[in-house]
Amino acid sequence: MAETGFSCPQTREQVINMYFLEHRAKLLDVAAFLDRLDRARPTASNVDFREAALNEAVRILVDGQPQRAKRILALLSDSTTEIPQSAHGMKGASGAVRVNSGGAS
């Protein structure tokens, strides 16, 4: 399944007119979240893997390449191939993986 070219029925200007304020607010939410992290006392010497993953994901936002949503989801995906026997004792899903354990593929 290939992506089509200009498949959105709106012009660039129409997309900005319709969605800019909504996404301006969402971007400010992310910025304020990162500021909040700065103001919070650390409890471990290492950066939490979720925070590290989020910082990597932010790079994808501004790299100018297509399929940003897909690539961020891939970055946040488990790329391991082992299958544990049982879920017993496993933690709930966290929404991210350690960035150096490999994501996008």
Partner 1 sequence: MKYIDPHVHMVSRTTDDYQRMALAGCIAITEPAFWAGFDRSSAQGFFDYYRQLTEYEPRRAALFGIQHFTWLCINPKEADDPGFAREVIALIPDFLKCDNVLGIGEIGLNKNTKNEKIILEEQIALAEKHNQLILVHTPHLEDKRKGTRLIMDALSASQIDPGRILIDHVEEHTVAEVLDRGFWAGMTLYPDTKMTPQRATDVIEMYGSERIWMNSAGDWGCSDPLAVPKARIEMSRRGHQMSLIDKVTLDNPRTFLSQSEKFVLKAE
Question: Which residues contact partner 1 by CB under 8 A?
Answer: 1, 3-4, 7-10, 14, 18-19, 67, 69-70, 73-74, 76-81, 83-88, 90, 93-97
Minimum CB distance to partner 1, residue 41 (Å): 27
What length does the chain have? 105
Three-state DSSP class for residue 59: helix
Nearer to partner 1, 22 or 38 (CB): 22
Minimum CB distance to partner 1, residue 46 (Å): 19
Nearer to partner 1, 26 or 59 (CB): 26
Residues with Cβ < 8 Å from 61, sequence gap 6 or more? 68, 72
CA–CA separation, 56 and 101 (whole Å): 13
Minimum CB distance to partner 1, residue 67 (Å): 7
- Which amino acid type is present at position 100? N
DSSP letter assigned to residue 46:
S
Nearer to partner 1, 10 or 35 (CB): 10
